[in-house]
Every structure is written in C-alpha cells, then in structure tokens.
Structure 1
Amino acid sequence: MFKSNNTYLAVFIGILGVVFFSAKAVMVKLAYHYDVSSVNLLMFRMLFALPCYVVVLYFIQSRKRVKSPVNFRDVLWLLFFGFIGYYLASYFDFLGLQYIKASIERVILFIYPTIVVLLSAIFLKRKINPLQILAIVITYIGVFVAFWDEFKIEGTEFLIGAGLIFLSALTYASYLTGSDFLIPKFGVLRFTSYAMIIACICVLAHYFIVEETSLFGYHENVYWLGLAMAILSTVIPSFMVSYCIKEIGASNFSILGSLGPVSTIILANIFLGERFSTLQMGGTLIVIFGVVIISFQKNVKTVKN
C-alpha cells in the first residue's frame, strides 16, 4: 500500500501529528478552568505560533520561488481563505468548546471531508458517486448516534456548542474547497504560513475592536497552555502532517487521521476526566468509517487543526 522507503518513519510522524493536533481541544478545556475568554485564548495560540510561521516563510522566500505567477486576485483569495480557514474556523471551535466535551468536539470536526465533498458538488460541479453518498449517510448516522446520550443530558447548551463546532468544520471545509487552486501557486508551506499570519492579524483586530479584557493578569498556566497549543498543537503537527502526506499520500494518511477522535477521547479521559459512553464510542467508530471511505474517494489533502 505504501511505496516510500521512509514509510515507517512517515507513519510514525503522521501519528504523532494527529495526536498533537487532537490535544488542542483538551488544552482549551483546561485553560477555561482559569476563566479566560475564548478570544484571549485564541490570541495566545496565534501570537505564540506567529513567529514560527514568519521564520518558516522567511526561509522559504529566500530559497524558493513561487511555483507559478500570482496575481492580485490570488492575493485577495488568499486573504479570504486565511480569514475563514484559520480565523473563523478557530474562533467557532474555541467558542463551541465552552459548551461541549473535547471528545465530542473532535467527532464533529472530523466530518469536514464530507462537507468538502458536498461543497465541491455544489460550487465546483464535481459529481458525487454512490459510494460517496453512502459514506456521507454513514458518517451522519454516526454523528447522530454519538450525540444522542449527550443531547439527552445537556439539551439546549449542547446544541449551541455542537452548532458552533459544526460552523468550524463548515468554514474549514470551505477553506479547503476554495484553496485548491491557490496551493499549487504558492506551495503548501508558503500558503499555510501566509494563511496563519493573516489569521493572526484578524484575531488581533477582533481583540482590539470587541474584547474588553486584558491579555495580562491570568494564571501562569493559561500562558503555558497557550504556548503549548501554539507549538505542540499548531506549528509542529502542521509540518508533521505535510511531511507524512508527501511521503505516503493523502488517501493513506486518512487512515492515520482517523485516530484523531480516538486520541482526543483518550486524552480527554486522562486530563479532563470526561467519560465516553458505549453509544458515543460506537457512533465515533461509525463516523471514522464513513470519513475514511470519503477520504479514499476524495483524496482530501489535510486535517483539521
């Protein structure tokens, strides 16, 4: 199935990347124990991650040329996708985590490949084959099963959180759908670095326009968690996943990506004491099965971060 000589190393790095990405939700929930606002927490993540992407961009710019000509319209699209893909998607995610468990959050986010398929069919006129339709139906049945126990307990509050996380998945899927034509022009690392810098600027603007609380005066653990989110759950895994996809292919990586929800469930149980029922685990496995089918069909290129 895998053809690269570095297969085992790539698989190991890919698994680590998935686990690091999935730890983000757990860190957010831990930080909320210290009464930090979602905007400020997102600020810490972006501000700590920003220098890393600036450095990466600097070295890329000094060593590699843009793969194909970039015009003004491409720059506008880059600004737009940076806004929705790494600002809006992250903002909805952080808001939603105030209402629902970290483990449930990852299950919802994990449906984004099915949304990519649907958006591609609507806006790019790409046909959906019967197997993809079946995979989408399977995925959403799994979501319904996983949600049932939690909805009975939490009710309206759970629906608010689930809705916000779904908006996060939707905006990120929109970013993936629309950025397809830009990535070949900029290159993966350059495009990601630009998008993250744009998102950081958007978060800064949001903070100065809307937020009234200061970034200072929080418990020291808030800053450590913000730093950990930036480095361990943003910068490092983004490059790990890029390397893994390059070595083994996006379809094969989709198998590793399916470990994300399971990893979050385990981490949330260890660090947050979250309990996951048999019904929720069953629903999660159904979702993973549906998404793996979609990923093989669609060849989705990246994972939600």
Structure 2
Amino acid sequence: MFAKPVVRMRGLKLKEFLQEKTYLLAVIGAVLIWSTSFVATKIALWTVPPFTLGALRFLVAGIVLAVFLALQRGLVWPRRQDLGHLVLSGVLGITIYFALENLGVKLATAADAALIVAAYPAITMLLESLLYRVAVSRIRFFGVGLALLGVYLVVGESSSLGGPYRFRGDLILVATGIVWSFYNFVTRKVANEYPALLVTFYQTIAGAIAFLPLALLERAQWQAPAGASWLALLYLAIFCSLLGFLLYAYGLKRLTSSAAVTLMNLVPVFGVLCSVFLLGETLSLLQCGGGLIVIAGIILGVRQASER
C-alpha cells in the first residue's frame, strides 16, 4: 500500500544524485580540457608563430560565440560606460595575456607553464593587497608565500635544465600572471552587469582585433601549417576557449565557487602529466616539488578565503 511513495522518493533521490554528479563531471571536464591547452599550444606553435596563433584562435572563437549567442538571442550591445572596460579587459586578458603565454610556452615547456600558471591566483592576491589595500589573513599570506616559493623553485631550476631560453620563457610566464591579475581587476567592474558568456564574447572580439597588428609583425614567418598544428589550433579555439568555459559555467550552477576553484588546482597536475606523456617533456624532482608547493599554497589560500 505504501510501496509506491517510497519508490518515488528513492527515484527522486537517485535523480538528484545523478544531477549533482553531472555538475561535478562538467567542472572536471572543463579542468581536463584546460589542462591540455598547454600541450595543444606547444603543438600549434610548431608551425604557427605565437602572435598569429593568438589571432587565429580568438577570431575562430569569436565567430563561434557570435553564432551561439545569436541563436540564443543573447547578443545585446553593452552600455557605453561599460564598453571601455570590456575592451580593456579583452586586450589585457586575450591579447597581452595570450601573446605572452604563447611566447613563454614557445621558449619554455608546456609542463613549466602548467606549474607556473597555478600560482596566478597567489599573484592576484598579492597585488590586490598591495594596490587595493585588501586585508589578507596570516594564513592566506602564508599560502601566497608558499605558492611564490614554488614558482621560484620551478623557474630557478629551468636554467640548468633547458638553458637560457627556457629560463626566459618561464620569466615571461610569471609576467603573464601579473597581466592576468589586472585583467581580473578590470573584469570585476562589468562581470555582474551582463551574462558571463556575453562578457566573454566582447572580450574575445576585442582581443582578437588587437591581435591582428601583432600577427602582421610575423608575416615573414607565415607558412602553411602542418595538419597537427591546424588541429591544435581548432582545439584551442573551440574546446579550450568555448567548451571548457560552458562546462565550467554549467557546473557552477550547483557547485560552490570554493569547490570549483579547488578542482581547478587539478589543472597543473593534469597539465604536467599530459606534457610528460604526450610531448615527452621532463621535469626535475626540484621542479616537481616546487609545483606541489605552489598547489599547496593555493589550496591553503582558497580554503581560508572560502571560510571567510
């Protein structure tokens, strides 16, 4: 007599459980996609110059985004006072950021990039406290210090492993983290005014247009890209720039921000694994230890921030 309601309740619980797992898997999928971006960049750079790669990647991503937003009827013109922030954040977060990242990956290794990028939140926390007088607890400050110590170990060891070019590439990747921080500061001013996908679209378009003059500087290096480079370019544009973002945004519908950010700490882990197994790159024990210190410092800082 009472069996049907019990079965129905179990069915609802099972459905809710599967939905929760779907959101979790969406974020993990985004993490896996972003982890492979460093390997894909390295492959694309075999025959495509770094600035040209950035221009092509985000032109393709911008076109796909425009079609997607048009089909969803979500393509609206921003307010005049917000347009400047959208353009500036696009130039910072797309043009300058990826121009430096592509150049850094070209000179260094994909594994180095995966480890150094993990410290970008720590660089942002440090600049935020210095420029905006944001209070930082002792635990978060300790976490930032740990992450920066890890970066020092990774970068310091690169000169003995790969020579001056790898060392310069690592320094460029560290500078890229500073650009990433300022991109975040500018994006905050418009992030809550428009849907995230629309903000990404305008940033992508502004960044792609600003990339064009830089790409023209590389005309002497243009050549017919190899098949692997073309596939890597399309993967970067469609999967890393769009699908990863959509999966992450979908997962944030039910997961807490702190849980999602904690999962993001898997990016350097998967990124290094992909670099080692797919490209045959090598890391010293000291660099591996530095990478673990970076991740530990970021986890410590993020946990303290989520508790506050």
Tell me the alpha carbon deviations over residues 240-271 of structure 1, each in whole angstroms, 9 at most, x when there is no partner.
11222332122111221111111111111121
One-letter code of the match for 1:45? R
Q: By how many angstroms is 1:103 displaced?
A: 0.8
Tell me the alpha carbon deviations over residues 217-257 of structure 1, each in whole angstroms, 9 at most, x when there is no partner.
22232222211111122211011112223321221112211
Output the CA distance in 2 between the equivalents of 1:119 and 1:174: 9
* Alignment partner, residue 302 of structure 1: none
With the length of structure 2 as denominator, give the TM-score of the two structures.
0.86
SS at match of 1:98: helix
SS at match of 1:276: coil
Between structure 1 and structure 2, the one with the greater Rg is 2
Output the CA distance in 2 between the equivalents of 1:100 and 1:63: 40
Q: By how many angstroms is 1:65 displaced?
A: 7.3
Q: Tell me if 1:176 matches 2:184.
A: yes
Q: By how many angstroms is 1:297 displaced?
A: 3.8
Output the CA distance in 2 between the equivalents of 1:109 and 1:281: 14
Conserved? CA contact 2:107–2:169, under 8 Å: yes
What are structure 1's unaligned runs of at least 5 residues? 300-305
* Alignment partner, residue 112 of structure 1: 120
Tell me the alpha carbon deviations over residues 1-56 of structure 1, each in whole angstroms, 9 at most, x when there is no partner.
xxx8633212211111111112111112123333x311222223122212221123
* Alignment partner, residue 20 of structure 1: 33
SS at match of 1:53: helix
* Alignment partner, residue 140 of structure 1: 148
Q: By how many angstroms is 1:207 displaced?
A: 2.2
Equivalences for 1:1-305 in 2 at 5 Å? 6-34=19-47, 36-59=48-71, 62-63=73-74, 71-208=79-216, 210-213=217-220, 217-298=224-305
273-282 vs 20-29, which deviates more?
273-282
Runs of 4+ in 1 over 4 A off after TM superposition: 63-66
Q: Give aligned-pair identity as a percent.
A: 21
One-letter code of the match for 1:8? K
The 1:123/1:273 distance shift into structure 2, 3 A limit, reads same
With the length of structure 1 as denominator, give the TM-score of the two structures.
0.87
SS at match of 2:107: coil
Conserved? CA contact 1:48–1:226, under 8 Å: no
Q: By how many angstroms is 1:298 displaced?
A: 4.2
Residues paired across the two proteins, number: 290
